[in-house]
Structure 1
Amino acid sequence: MLPFWPTGVGGSLAACAQGEYDEPWRNLGTTLVAHDRADAIIRLAWQFNGNDVEWKASDPVAWVSCYQHVVTAVRETAPGALFDWSRNAHGTQNPASGDATEAYPGDDYVDIIGIDTFDMMPSSPDEAAWTQQCNGPDGLCAVVDFARAHGKRVGVGQWAVVTCNGFGNPGGDNPFFVQKMHDTFAANADVMAYETYYNDPNAGEFCTSLHDPVEAPMASAQYQKLWGP
């Protein structure tokens, strides 16, 4: 995962869109090649459609131009690098239109269509809730459909059950959510690039851990059943 610029340094979409950050990105490509990572997957400016990241797509025109500049710069020195355009599944605040695809950089600049999805906002306790969330405008199922329409693979960089925080709507120890994620991955195996469970016991986050420590024992047991120990 890489932002458009290092956090806390006062970067801007406008500067990025004008190419002011191109040289460091060329250097990144050189570094990837030098360390045998020329085909690395770069989750660039992930969760751009929320409000809590500096690189949010508040200006979708500048955001798209910035993304394109970064991809072009990296590919100059690491042409095999792969770029993952990844949103979060919990509602689009940016762009203001509420449509994350307004910030799609174009098929020439994207290799993987990605999403981060947690069992919250809303949670999925049953089939009806899962179907509504998954097929909503920012749901996993909608992202899979968008990827297929653009001839791209799908990446799920972060997914998890949520046993604390959850912005008032955590799904808790929910093995049903684990089952549905597994089933969706399996049903779309032909376009899946990767998926990663977000195993994090940090109480300041969402208490998602299924292993060392186990914060959701039923979800943990279901995960082990489906994926193995």
Structure 2
Amino acid sequence: MAEHIMEDLSIDCVIFGFTDELKVLLVKHGEGISKGKWALPGGWITYEESLDAAANRILYLLTGVNNLFLEQLKAFGSVDRFPTKRVVTVGYYTLIKDTDYDVVAGYTASDVQWFSLNEVPELPYDHDEILTYALDQLKSRVKQEPIGFNLLPEKFTLLQLQNLYESILQIKLDKPNFRRKILGMKLIVDLGEKQNNVSHRAAKLYKFDQEVYQALKEHKFVLDL
């Protein structure tokens, strides 16, 4: 770890995970003024590294999660956001399939866990604000980019796709209306196959059409759900 730490500039990461529901990755502080509290993975940057490098280093040290594409949110700089001194933090976020990663607490974290969004404990500092802002950004992006399709199996059902959108948008969608809009955009292709080995009525399987998405993206489409 680099020696020269900037103790007035920090990084906080919002790592959303999805398998069957939307979750967020939190660490329990093992030391310092917030010892014992669950918080977003974060820490100080150093003079020798870029913001992006700092975000990846801090996330890896605290959680064991590495090699993620982290998108910068914005700077959070309320005067009283940190109790002992003036600290500005730069937020980052991403969305991953949580079952693809093994999380291991390290550095100053005594524990690390995935939390459902409706079970997030009280967070220190302004981490609730950062989490809310990141979720709003995610909701906006999912209507303009197929950022969640990589979280689904290569072949998926419309119900699985609807569950993904409902989890991210935090709303209940009308099933016929959702299917009509998704199919109308031609973003997915009917594979002419159905689920195997299911106890209920087998549903049709679809795949994501990357070429159609690229064409829609040029016209800055918005999925109105």
Please, what TM-score do these two structures have when normalized by structure 1?
0.28
Q: Would you tell me which structure has more helix in proportion to its own residues?
A: 1
Give the structure with higher Rg (CA). Answer: 2
Q: Would you tell me which structure has more strand in proportion to its own residues?
A: 2
Bigger RCO of structures 1 and 2 (CA < 8 A, at least 6 apart): 2
Please, what TM-score do these two structures have when normalized by structure 2?
0.28
